[in-house]
Structure 1
Amino acid sequence: MNRIAAYCLCACALATTPLAWAQPAREVYRCPGNPVLYTDTLSAKEAQAKGCRTLEGAPITVVQGVRPRPAASGAAVAGARSTEERVAPGEQRARDNDARRILEGELKREEDRLAAMQKEFNNGEPERRGDERNYQKYMDRVAEMKADIARKEADVAAIKRELAKLPQ
């Protein structure tokens, strides 16, 4: 046999040698309970006292997993707040009034912009500009105006929804 083949054969033999031969044998016990416990840290007397049995064969490999955290329920989160964090009813009413005033102002501005956009749109036939000799340019501007109007209508509807959420 040549040297390389002998070296490979020796390396393969070492790689397949069980680790149990290199380490002292330890007893693995299976202890009853919920969950069932497999351990090699007990002495023979402790294992007998707990009702554990010796396992025959290969040792058991256990991979530790990450335990999921319990989900916090809404009641637990609300209960965790102290009374110091709560806002006085008068102060909350003032905050709600400020929010309503701000939203009503914003709604008025958005409705005015929407009306101006719809007037300029002129039911899908806005006036042509001087730089729009190309008909496609004009059509692109009309499509963009239509999309802007749809977006503005969605904004107005969103503000109205927010206003409806506020207490009277």
Structure 2
Amino acid sequence: MKRHSIKNHCLNGARFVASPHYDARPDAEDINLLVIHCISLPEGEFGTPYVEQLFKGTLDTTAGSGFEPLAGLRVSAHLVIRRDGQLEQYVPFNQRAWHAGVSSYCGRRRCNDYSIGIELEGTDTSEYTEQQYQQLAAVSRTLLAEYPKLTRQRIVGHEHIARGRKTDPGTGFNWSYYLTNL
């Protein structure tokens, strides 16, 4: 199984692409939730440069671009795992990425304050690739080892912290397979 390491709150082996869409956590030591998401731009198209552009704040949202509804959106994630398993990191883990939006877990609001967000390139209904599962499991093991407040029991989907608003990673995500590989 693949092994990763973390240096200066960045994952070795991940291509680092700085996002301007982050800020300081209220407590940088309180990282205790891992949130799994999915993303593709346009919906269902993979391997495009548009997710990176969205997280960098450079996505063309002018009339005719097809991305007009995303105008002014300021979002990011800590990591993206592409269909082929390639890793991109947009925000260091000790900083607050803007991935969860209005959210709560176990009665505590503002999940961005204390979570790490990982985006899988996919849709709510698409099946994820073996490379993504293997990479997600390897990254998760590394995060669990590095941040002691993270536990297997504190790994959730966006759908679990933003009920009624979000559905990702969706029905295409095999939770039991992922957790077995941890």
Q: TM-score range by the shorter chain?
A: under 0.3
TM-score by length of 1: 0.20
Higher relative contact order (CA 8 A, sep 6+): 2
Q: Which has the higher strand share?
A: 2
Q: Which has the higher helix share?
A: 1
TM-score by length of 2: 0.19
